[in-house]
Amino acid sequence: MLEVCGITQIFGGVTALADVSFRINQGDITGVIGPNGAGKTTLFNIITGIYTQTSGRVLFEEKDISGLPPEKLARLAMVRTFQNIELFGGMTVHENVMVGMQTKSSSGLLACALKMPWSIVEERRIREASLKWLEFTGITDLADVTAGNLPFGKGRLLEIARALAVEPRIILMDEPAAGLNSQETVALAQLIKRIRDLGITVVLVEHDMELVMDICDRIVVLNLGRKLAEGTPREIQDNSDVIAAYLGDDD
């Protein structure tokens, strides 16, 4: 489904990623873990088109997507969330999710401004379909709240709802549990499983080992910009290299 082939990223002489390769299977929840500075977020930024890699390729459904900007990737049904949630703070929760339907709607500027019949129909469809995602993530009662006023945990859910509205086939989450309390983390684990049950492939960068071991089907371990190991949670837990890398850094 998603294949990372020999990604290398050099920032002004510093090698952040060195020849990293792995593949992600359709329908899996895959965790990307590693100590701080391992290059996880850099890797995410490359896959999702925020950075362009120094060398290497990213294949998505057999298609080379290297260097494509995020808005193109959204059209190919790839979407991501951010470590420090990025919401549209001035808009309501419902409107945030409606923006997520951008790629599934097509009314142009003039059609919208002149309220052409088809744009009215489309607007109604956007409004209703987006409600479905509010419900899925359990924030329906917050629909009319301004997103900027949400508590962090709810903001996280909104960001996920908005991403799901893109109707992705793959969703990449950058530390979805960061900043959540234990109760919220448990709920998040359930949510991620339900997302996978919709047939959406999930990739997450995460520090919360309990969460990762609990929900992931496969795990990729990065250390100092290199791939250290790859396998099922059980295999990773028993891997001596991984244990060594984490010793003294039990974050």
Partner 1 sequence: MKRELLKFLAFTVFVLLLPLYFQGGYLMNVLVFVGINTMLAIALNLLLGYAGQISLGHAGFFGLGAYLSGILTATYGWNPWLAMPTAAIVVGGLAGLIGFPILKLKGHYLAMATLGLGIIIYIVFNETVDLTGGPSGLSGIPNLAVAGVTFDSDVKNYYLIWGFTLAVILFSLNLANSRVGRALRAVHDSEVAARVVGVNARILKVQIFALSALLSSLAGSLYAHTMTFISPASFGFNFSVELLTMVVIGGLGSVYGSFLGAALLTLLPEFLRAAHDYDIIIYGALLMLMVMFMPGGLVRGIPDLFRKVFKKGGGDSHA
Taking the least distance from each CB to partner 1, the nearer of 100 and 225 is 100
Residues 55 and 60: their CA atoms lie apart, in Å, by 17
Q: One-letter amino acid identity for 109?
A: L
Does 115 engage in binding with partner 1 (CB under 8 A)?
Answer: yes
Select the residue interacting with partner 1 from 13, 36, 114, 197 (CB under 8 A): 114
Q: What 3-state class would DSSP assign to 4? A: strand
Taking the least distance from each CB to partner 1, the nearer of 101 and 212 is 101
Do the Cβ atoms of 78 and 60 come closer than 8 Å? Answer: yes
Residues whose CB is less than 8 angstroms from the CB of residue 246 and which lie 6 or more positions away in sequence, other chains included: 35
Does 87 engage in binding with partner 1 (CB under 8 A)?
Answer: yes
Does 150 engage in binding with partner 1 (CB under 8 A)?
Answer: no
Select the residue interacting with partner 1 from 109, 117, 151, 199 (CB under 8 A): 109
Does 143 engage in binding with partner 1 (CB under 8 A)?
Answer: no
Stretch of 87-95, 178-186, 195-203, 235-243 contacting partner 1, by CB under 8 A: 87-95
With 0-12 / 13-18 / 19 or more C-beta atoms within 10 angstroms meaning exposed / middle / buried, residue 234 is exposed
Does 128 engage in binding with partner 1 (CB under 8 A)?
Answer: no
Element (H, E) at 207: none
Select the residue interacting with partner 1 from 5, 10, 18, 91 (CB under 8 A): 91
With 0-12 / 13-18 / 19 or more C-beta atoms within 10 angstroms meaning exposed / middle / buried, residue 62 is exposed
Does 113 engage in binding with partner 1 (CB under 8 A)?
Answer: yes
Select the residue interacting with partner 1 from 25, 55, 67, 108 (CB under 8 A): 108
Residues 63 and 78: their CA atoms lie apart, in Å, by 12
Contacts of 186-190 with C-beta under 8 Å, sequence gap 24+, read 187/138, 188/156, 189/214, 189/215
Footprint on residues 30-69 left by partner 1 (CB under 8 A): 48, 50, 69
Does 123 engage in binding with partner 1 (CB under 8 A)?
Answer: yes
Does 210 engage in binding with partner 1 (CB under 8 A)?
Answer: no
Residues binding partner 1 (CB under 8 A): 48, 50, 69-71, 73-75, 79-80, 82, 86-91, 95-96, 98-103, 105, 107-109, 112-115, 119, 122-123, 126, 159, 162-163, 165-166
